[in-house]
Amino acid sequence: MSVLIRGMDEIPEDGAVLIVKHDDNGKTYIKYSGMMGYSMELVKIKEPHGDLIDRDTLKNAVLKWMPPDPCGREEKEFPFETDICVSMMMEIEEQDAVIEAERAEE
């Protein structure tokens, strides 16, 4: 099994002591020894899994092959290639993320 340490911004220095706590809510938290409160969470990563990819980068790669008007506003029928691209985009969107994206704090 592999884990992601959500909230850890850098690898701890050599000799750092970390404390792990399994909470009643089923989550596992981790903190540096001597610090108050738990600011990091251990998250299980599904296994087996393939390469971890950026879904947005993949969508952009597909979009570059689509015609300028993929919804066919100027044409009555979709070209065959557009149907494939739209199907691929829908498939990408339906996939679960192995590691969910981190959002920038506002």
- For 11, 49, 99, the CA distances from 6, given in Å and listed in that order, are 12, 19, 10
Separation of alpha carbons 62 and 65, rounded Å: 6
- For 14, 68, 84, 99, the CA distances from 87, given in Å and listed in that order, are 49, 17, 5, 23
Beta carbons of 67 and 85 less than 8 angstroms apart:
no
pLDDT value for 11: 92
pLDDT value for 71: 56
Q: What is the pLDDT along the chain (106 residues), one digit of tens a residue?
A: 788 899 998 999 999 999 999 999 889 999 999 999 888 999 888 778 788 888 888 877 777 766 666 555 555 555 656 677 777 777 777 777 778 777 666 5
Separation of alpha carbons 59 and 54, rounded Å: 9
Sequence-ordered list of residues with C-beta below 8 angstroms from that of 81, at least 6 positions apart, any chain:
65, 66, 67
pLDDT value for 106: 55
DSSP 28: E
For residue 43, which of 68, 26, 62, 61 has the smallest C-alpha distance? Answer: 26
Separation of alpha carbons 98 and 17, rounded Å: 28
Domain residue ranges of the chain, discontinuous segments joined by +: 2-45, 55-94
